[in-house]
Chains A and B, each alone.
Chain A
Amino acid sequence: MSVIFAILFYLATLVLVVGLLSRINLYARTPAPLKIPTTPAPTTRTGVVFRLTREVVFFESLFKANLWTWAMGWLFHASMALVVLRHLRYFTDPVWGWVAFIQPFGIYAGITMLLGLCGLWVRRLFVERIRYISTPSDHLWLVLLIVIAASGLLMQFASHTDVIAVKSYFLGLLHFDIGTLPSDSLLLLHLFLVFALLALFPLSKLLHAPGVFFSPTRNQTDDCREHRHLSAWAGKLESEK
């Protein structure tokens, strides 16, 4: 089992990194021939950095759109960020100071993450409009995340796993040294689903994470009259004339 999970870990990480980089590369290389920021838009690069920061950290547009979706979505994402950072302790020795500091918050964030996810799923199941636009994969993503969060919380609060052993297993993996992974079924379920999530990330709607940074309506400056914006293929039309 230790070997299988080691392979899964390497495979998932590889697919995530290669997949994400190639997707980001594709986004970056695809030209944006016209200026299409959704206005009012910032007129400077600094302004754009602030706009994107507000979008990524506070979900500004979603806040304008729907308070409930915003509350549940933000709760889920912010909690998950804390939870992921907390998990750095299983990959670092000694544990970094700030990771140790957020440990207690990270634990409770697991609970709020689960709450947020359940809220989002309730919305998807019971709001007519959202149910209409949902595909099976939309539901499955929520189920996947809910099971990941719930299995993690169960290991924390009900059926403890040997975290020391888990940590030494992952520290070993970082040096391509496959140790022994405790074989509780909760832990294996938790890890398997996390690996699945990592591997599916670059193939799925989870691409919204890098996508938001490349969205021309959000990342372009409103300086259309002051600077001529010309992409390579559009420029060629001029030389043909």
Chain B
Amino acid sequence: MADITAPAYRTIPIIPALKPGAMEGKGPFIANEKMQEALGFPGQLVDDWHDKAIAKMGDLLGKFRSLRVFMDACVHCGACSDKCHYFIGTQDPKNMPVARQDLLRSVYRRYFTFAGKYFPKLVGARDLTREVLDEWYNYYHQCSECRRCSVFCPYGIDTAEITMAAREILASVGMGQKYSNEIIAKVHKIGNNLGLPEPALVDTLEGLEEDVKEDTGLDIKFPVDVKGAEVLLITPSADFFAEPHIDGLIGYAKVFHASGTSWTLSSMASEGANFGMFIGNYEQLRKIALRIREAALELGVKRIVVGECGHAWRVAYSFWNTLSGVGDGADETDRFAQMLQKQLDHRYRQPTHICEFTWDLIRRDALKFDKSKNDQFVITMHDSCNVARGSRMGDLPGGQFEIPRNIIKAVANNFVEMDPNTTRERTFCCGGGGGLLTDDLMELRVKGALPRMEVLNQAVQEHGVNYMAAICAICKTQFSKIMPVYGFDRKMVGGVHQLVSNAIILGDK
């Protein structure tokens, strides 16, 4: 960390000049043989990688309409060209979404289109060479799959889909990424990304109960594997002990306590994150999601609630119903999904975000708060990318923006917004999403956070902001790590439920 310094702030709005080659390099560490094989990928670069990669591309083109349409539809209009936080932060032209897509599109054109087969130079088509493969590895690990570009594309081209396809191709020829693959292996083996085994988890939670008791004088429980509980909480494992995540977990527990909800965690599915999405592998995405189904069936819960985690909520909200049947509206004949859906209580949304859960209680006047407990904070909201652009909360589109803000305003007095070009659907990624939250990408993470830091700094100067709320474990980890580089206190970032925890009035103590 010592050798990485913060880039200087610029005047907003920023249209960066190009610095070709600024982020050239080898990319993050490659997964070793063991990690690759654990996920069913070849251990190292296969001899016939060229043919395998092209065949894989053809396979994906046939399976995903997104990829199929997105490869053809781009007209190079440049609408996305200044929208990626990694481009704004690094100025490397290959980090412009369109240029990043073209790394793959140029090869697609060469092998799958008439123009590219016969007039490659004319349409910018190129052969798949070892250099191209390495370039893919480097630049497709400089995309956090945050979908900001897709908001602005006139055809809705989502670079995230293309990054996922590229990473899937890379892994399938033996070039998987160490960080993501290692974590996925841990999820399967131990149950969570952090590799926290059941006894350690139970221990940690018992310790937490004692801490909270000391603090509040109340017996607030953190139950694990309780059969017949009403709610199964699925939350990122960082919530169990990372700072500031754990304060959010305490917040959830207090809300459950105050509302008299019986709830439980699952040791088998003690992880909300699903890195299968990051590596673009449908089978892994599905396999990781199935753990939650199994846990829900085994524990017999009526509701599934998801903690503060961005991509986990995207997977839960958008994909769980498809992958594992956690949701509603399956066909009568769909035995796989019906098995679970019959068990769930459909008076509630399945799955429910913890913010939806808390906000419903607040609306019913079921929770009491002392807002002055948060008076030391001037709070702003960093919308987490996957929540903002890949999911919803509540019944109305945009509920994913309103509900967390409503909660903050219900539990605190001082709330201000950042530049509207960088919040809600236009929010920046924190710089660490999409499987990039690893120390071997620290330079990228620091530069990728620059756009958010510039805007935050503006809010700090104008309004004295000293708390940036986020509802994502990756945002929290990334910011608490890189904010000190920018001269901010690492404690400036925190969860929404951390604020809830501060202000909630429990019992009659």
Contacts and interface: CB of A to CB of B under 8 A. Distances in A.
Interface of A: 23, 26-27, 30-36, 38-43, 55, 59, 61-62, 64-66, 69, 73, 123, 127-130, 132-138, 140, 203-205, 207-208, 211-212, 214-218, 222-230, 233-234, 237-238, 241
B65 A30 contact: yes
* Pairs of residues from A and B, 7 with the lowest C-beta to C-beta distance, nearest first: A211-B73, A40-B397, A135-B124, A65-B152, A65-B79, A217-B156, A218-B156
In this complex, the member of B68, B98, B329 whose beta carbon has the largest number of chain A beta carbons within 10 angstroms is B68
B124 A34 contact: no
Contact of A228 (B69, B76, B79, B330): B330
A34 B391 CA distance: 13
B350 interface: yes
Contacts of A218: 155-156
Given A65-B153, A224-B321, 9 more contacts: A38-B425, A39-B389, A40-B425, A61-B153, A65-B83, A208-B155, A211-B69, A211-B73, A217-B158
23 contacts: A27-B69, A30-B61, A30-B65, A30-B68, A33-B63, A34-B319, A35-B318, A38-B147, A38-B158, A38-B389, A43-B395, A64-B152, A65-B83, A130-B76, A136-B122, A203-B114, A212-B73, A214-B65, A214-B69, A224-B317, A225-B350, A226-B328, A229-B322
B327 A127 contact: no
A45 to B, nearest CB: 14
Contacts of B396: 43
A215 B77 contact: no
A229 B83 CA distance: 31
B115 interface: yes
A65 B321 CA distance: 33
A83 to B, nearest CB: 19
B228 interface: no
Contacts of A238: 336
Residues of B in contact with A, size category? 35 or more
Contact of B161 (A36, A39, A133): A36
Contacts of B390: 36, 38-39
Contacts of A228: 321-322, 325, 327-331, 334, 337
Contacts of B158: 36, 38, 217
A133 B76 contact: yes
A27 B65 contact: yes
B167 interface: no
A38 B145 CA distance: 12
B397 A39 contact: yes
Given A62-B79, A228-B322, A234-B282, A38 B156 contact: yes
B345 to A, nearest CB: 13
In this complex, the member of A204, A237, A238 whose beta carbon has the largest number of chain B beta carbons within 10 angstroms is A238
B158 to A, nearest CB: 5
Contacts of B73: 205, 207-208, 211-212, 215
In this complex, the member of A36, A130, A207, A216 whose beta carbon has the largest number of chain B beta carbons within 10 angstroms is A36
A20 B13 CA distance: 41
Given A30-B64, A132-B93, A225-B351, A205 B319 contact: no
Given A61-B152, A228-B321, A39 B388 contact: yes
A35 B79 contact: no
A210 to B, nearest CB: 9
A61 B154 contact: yes
A22 to B, nearest CB: 12
In this complex, the member of B17, B61, B317 whose beta carbon has the largest number of chain A beta carbons within 10 angstroms is B317
Given A39-B388, A39-B392, A128 B17 contact: yes
Given A33-B64, A205-B75, A62 B349 contact: no
Contacts of B389: 38-39
B81 A130 contact: yes
A66 B70 CA distance: 20
Contact of A31 (B63, B328, B336): B63
A222 B393 CA distance: 11
A39 B400 contact: yes
B62 interface: yes
B182 interface: no
A73 B77 CA distance: 9
A34 B72 CA distance: 20
In this complex, the member of B62, B156, B334 whose beta carbon has the largest number of chain A beta carbons within 10 angstroms is B156
A234 B322 contact: yes
A86 B286 CA distance: 53
Contacts of A123: 78
Given A32-B66, A38-B151, A215 B156 contact: yes
B122 to A, nearest CB: 5
B329 A203 contact: no
B297 interface: no
A227 B152 CA distance: 28
B265 interface: no
Contacts of A230: 322, 334
A226 B79 contact: no
A35 B322 contact: yes
Contacts of B391: 39
B425 A127 contact: no
Contacts of B70: 215
Contacts of B242: none
Interface in B63-122: 63-66, 68-70, 72-83, 93, 96, 98-99, 102, 113-115, 121-122
Interface string B113-138: 11100000111100000000000000
A203 B331 CA distance: 40
B76 A134 contact: yes
In this complex, the member of A138, A215, A218 whose beta carbon has the largest number of chain B beta carbons within 10 angstroms is A215
Given A34-B319, A133-B81, A203-B113, A40 B398 contact: yes
Contacts of B336: 238, 241
A44 B158 CA distance: 22
Nearest to A32: B65
B473 interface: no
B395 to A, nearest CB: 8
Interface in B380-420: 388-392, 395-398, 400-401
